[in-house]
Chain A
Amino acid sequence: EDQVTQSPEALRLQEGESSSLNCSYTVSGLRGLFWYRQDPGKGPEFLFTLYSAGEEKEKERLKATLTKKESFLHITAPKPEDSATYLCAVQTSERAGSYQLTFGKGTKLSVIP
């Protein structure tokens, strides 16, 4: 069974204090790994898709990296508006052709001014 584990569950940072969120996965065949951001009362907002080990993607203060067993979401010099729950999800090759994601439970990030 595919499993996605995110850590930490919650993270409090001072504004400008860089850190990383972790997503470790156990799947039989990874097709893609996704990062989403979710604000309270809203649906997840797409951030990145990573397809193969060694791949990196950046967007503003966020940078996502992927290895064979885990992914990291690095947040550089965060601002209060970066406060949200960050979700990691995997799509496996067995389900290629039909969209299904297995999500982790998320990391709730709070950035204090």
Chain B
Amino acid sequence: KAGVTQTPRYLIKTRGQQVTLSCSPISGHRSVSWYQQTPGQGLQFLFEYFSETQRNKGNFPGRFSGRQFSNSRSEMNVSTLELGDSALYLCASSFLSDNYGYTFGSGTRLTVV
């Protein structure tokens, strides 16, 4: 059974650019959540999508956005990149939007220079 797949694994971008990260959940999973992980702040919730609808959003600026497609695949976009956006971005999927052991992907390591 394939796990949660995140692409790309690594990205280097320049300040001011924008970036799109992709997440393919486990087959049959309809809920996808995104988290940002940094050494200083740990894991912080970005947003959650369920059946193509954003159900919840964390305390991040509007530069961070996302969407979910009909096949449950999700993308997140960060516009006007800042140095502080350098982080590991993690995606987690679950069958329902509930606490049944969400499965995380290996993440995308974004470096902004």
Contacts and interface: CB of A to CB of B under 8 A. Distances in A.
B42 A46 contact: no
A57 B31 CA distance: 25
A44 interface: yes
Interface in B5-53: 31, 33, 35, 42-45, 48, 50
Counting chain B residues whose Cβ lies within 8 A of the other chain, the interface size class is: 20 to 34
Contacts, number: 65
Contact of A100 (B4, B45, B100): B45
Given A41-B106, A95-B56, A99-B94, 15 more contacts: A31-B99, A32-B99, A34-B99, A43-B90, A46-B103, A49-B101, A91-B99, A97-B98, A98-B48, A99-B33, A99-B48, A99-B56, A99-B97, A103-B44, A105-B42
Interface of A: 31-32, 34, 36, 41-46, 49, 87, 89, 91, 95, 97-106
